[in-house]
Amino acid sequence: MKVSLGTWPTPLEHAPRLAAAIGLTDLWLKRDDLGGLGAGGNKTRKLEWTLGAALAEGAETVVTTGAPQSNHARLTAAAAARLGLRAVLVFPGEAGQSRSGNLALDGLFGARVVWAGERDRAEVAAELVAESATTALIPFGGSNALGAQGYVECGQELKQQLPEFTTAVVALGSGGTMAGLVAELGPERVLGVDTGALADPVAVVAELASEVSGRTIAPEELRVRREQVGAGYPHFTKESAAALTVAARTEGVVLDPIYTGRAMAGLIAAVEDGTLRPGDRPVFVHTGGLPGFFGNADAVAYAESHLS
């Protein structure tokens, strides 16, 4: 069972000024940040499948985990509100952190936030699910084989919108988005940029893509750039800052500091080292995350420093 949560197909936009600024002759943006639900983002496609399964099993409450500024948690809360479900979000650490960005929207959508403190957030989530037969667990990032089906559908949209594209460039977080694209498009047409969310994202993507596609996809077949992680997942890097700036000033498109900022930085690095070349026709898959920009103090300070 699948539920309808988004507005599909998402637009595919030409970005000629951004292309010229980074050394390409052609570049397109797949605007999955404009998916229609809860401030947009890639998790909506996955939630159509994972929440559909939860409803089919009789769920009245859904529990998921993430970082305090999790885009997945925010969209789970929004989707739950639309479907009449209760949402419980389990985050590491303690209350009292910044309540801006995604956290503010979590509250607006009516989610209950549980702080795991020093405990493993997955263990806390499992305990909450075990309390009731009508409570379902939604996987971290929505990234299991079922959720990845949403990005099989995205790949199908992309082939219809621009059959001659050469490479889809996408942020690699929990793995399901890249896995779905690889399953549909093949590993040779997808370039993932690691954001540091997982210790071994390549293995995760290979396993998920194999399960979704029904054929073995080896880790060494995947195209993954890992140089954009920097000091670690939660940190705003200078490369991400530069990527946010060039996208905003050439196309009026806002990226987020953790995912799409790193992904665009990886695309730029791929042009610089010749992985992507003038004459190629890459598509940047914009997976959203705008609320997370306002929840990242370093990103906001960086943007404010450029006010005249």
Helix (H) and strand (E) counts in the chain: 12, 10
CA-to-CA distance for 84 and 104, rounded, in angstroms? Answer: 20
As annotated, the active-site residues are 70
28-31 and 12-14 beta bridge pairing? antiparallel
Helix (H, G, I), strand (E, B) or coil at 86: strand
One DSSP character per residue, 13-72 reads EE-HHHHHHHT-S--EEEEGGGSSSTT--THHHHHHHHHHHHHHTT-SEEEEE--TT-HH
257 closest CA partner among 299, 228, 226, 285: 299
Contact call for residues 289 and 171 (beta carbons, < 8 A): no
